[in-house]
Chain A
Amino acid sequence: MAIESQEQSRAAARAEAREAAREAEARELQTWQGQVEELRGLVSDRALTGETLLLNMGPHHPSTHGVLRLLLELDGEEIVTCLPDIGYLHTGIEKNIESKTYEKAVTLTDRMDYLSPMSNNMVFCMAIEKLVELDVPPRAQAVRVICLELSRIASHLVWLGTHALDMGAMSVFLYGFRERERILDMFEMLSGQRMMGSYFRPGGLWRDITAEFGPALADFLEYMPPKVEDYELLLRNNPLWIDRTYGVGVVEPEQALAWGMSGPSLRGSGVNWDIRKAEPYSGYEQYEFNVPLGDHGDVYDRFMVRIEEMKESLSIIRQAWSKLPQGAFRSDNRKFVPPPRAELGQSMEAVIHHFKLWTEGFSVPDEEVYVAIESPRGEIGCYLHGTGGNTPRRVHFKTPSFMHISALGKMAEGHFIADLVGIIGSIDIVLGDSDR
């Protein structure tokens, strides 16, 4: 009797355990279905039944160039759907700027697109200058062009290094960073900081170019052209590189325009659109340069366009440096630009201006403006709405990386995972730029 009841209780316990396991399984299935249900419409129906695999790539992944997360639906190794998820680097810079005076806000713009801080400074300063109708002296314009083109080269070097590294070519990374250090040294000579210089200020520059900058730049202009040739020779005819890039991530010109792509990624598709040519700013109309274009719109073409752009940038710097105008490095409009230090000891008015500008800042009318420039990644635009006071009502940046990430999903469809790495590299995204 006792044995029987023991066996019965054991059987009951076993049945209970089986039931619990079944329930847990059902719960798990339900959760999974719930999670998948959220994706209905975003991924194909095959993913909902488990026929295709859902894979998470990033935000911690060495090839996503920052903290981009991609949700991939895979059929074998082939990508069926690619859903980018951004916002892992959303810093609230636009909101922060609303509580800063205009001069202070320049510092924040540095940290958006951290591979070319000068472009961000430039577009923000240009927006202010357009709104308050502030003229920039020719010398400042020319130095700005030199800095913008130097940062274009620096940015392309990081792009080239990481792009090639993703594809398995380590040496280009080491070469690229060697040359980049020389550019950063020059930025340090100008602004005192390697990366985040905040060198451009509304109305001109923070200070004039320093004595050691000239020789360093002349040296660099001698040193750099053969290096660019080297990168090209390393990769252009490299069979491995060609295998990985030819015909991968093709974007038709119409598609590229429809997706709002810009910069080298757009020009790789053969669309001749460069804001430096279309709507020249800061005296770009004085310099002669070509806009390199691709034919097929694949990863290889975008690579070649950027390599050619580095050569064009060097030519622009050479021209700007050879005819660098003399004169003031910032506007003498004392309502917007602080007076030089030497004036403070002599003029009471200068002291008042200095005090007002550094405590309260200058006022910008209650109007709105949009300006765009050609950053290394494409069109970066700044929408600025003043309040009539010393802080803006709203600042918004239209950034190229955001546009390119939105196009990434379509570009990746039908390719293998290994090609996705190349495609991400070829559109040269910076997550700080897209999330801000």
Chain B
Amino acid sequence: MGVVSSKLGNLGVVTTTLDTAVNWGRTGAMWPLLFGLACCAIEMMSTQASDYDLSRFGMELNRATPRQSDLMIVAGRVTRKMAPVVRQLYDQMAAPKWVISMGDCASCGGVYNNYAVVQGVDEIIPVDVYVAGCPPRPEQLIHGILTLHEKVKGDRIREWARPV
């Protein structure tokens, strides 16, 4: 955003592109889905609670319904019984929507290479950012979220119409 008040006098005018303005709005109030699966959900709760305070990034408002949320943080191991539920929740979210895969289990199955666990949530839904760790520290999750913000800032309106 270019502040041109110094050039044009004190008019309080800001010039920017539509891309930048929209992406700034999207990253400034990204509502995550209130959705936890296993251990990582506890670290996600820590991230939202007092010490790490996710509301610094405009994200304290967790919505319990997928219809009102933009971001799904898959926190924990996705089992074969849970996988259809995760997919349905993703389908119910309104576009634009993003997914963070939190922790090793959600990213690649982690230590559980067995009959019960889906080997990475990207087998069932598209993932934007992977956060490693078992479970990741709150700082790591925040870093993942900021990485996603960087990604969103690079979106172009012309590409919106592309099929998902």
- Which residues from chain A sit less than 8 Å from chain B, CB to CB? 59-62, 66-67, 87-93, 95-96, 107-108, 111, 114-115, 158, 161-162, 173-175, 177-178, 180-181, 184, 194-196, 431-432
Contacts and interface: CB of A to CB of B under 8 A. Distances in A.
Contacts of B50: 174-175, 177-178, 181
Interface string B62-79: 001000000000001101
Contacts of B160: none
Interface stretch (B14-22, B110-118, B121-129): B110-118
Contact of A432 (B38, B43, B116): B38
B35 interface: yes
Interface in B124-142: 134-135, 137
Interface of B: 34-39, 41-43, 45-46, 49-51, 64, 76-77, 79, 81-82, 85, 89, 111-112, 114-117, 134-135, 137
The 10 closest A-B pairs by CB, nearest first: A177-B49, A114-B39, A92-B116, A178-B50, A92-B114, A181-B51, A88-B82, A62-B64, A174-B50, A62-B34
Contacts of B49: 161, 173-174, 177-178
A170 to B, nearest CB: 11
B50 to A, nearest CB: 4
A96 B112 contact: yes
A184 B45 CA distance: 14
B81 A432 contact: no
A90 B81 contact: yes
Given A178-B49, A178-B51, A59 B38 contact: no
A177 B79 contact: no
A181 B116 contact: no
A95 B115 contact: yes
Contacts of A195: 39, 42-43, 135
Contacts of B82: 59, 67, 88-89
B116 A91 contact: yes
Contacts of A111: 38-39, 111
A180 B117 CA distance: 30
A111 B46 CA distance: 17
8 contacts: A66-B41, A89-B37, A91-B114, A91-B116, A95-B115, A161-B49, A178-B51, A181-B51
A60 B111 contact: no
B51 A177 contact: yes
Contacts of B114: 91-92, 95-96
A88 B36 CA distance: 12
Contacts of A432: 38-39
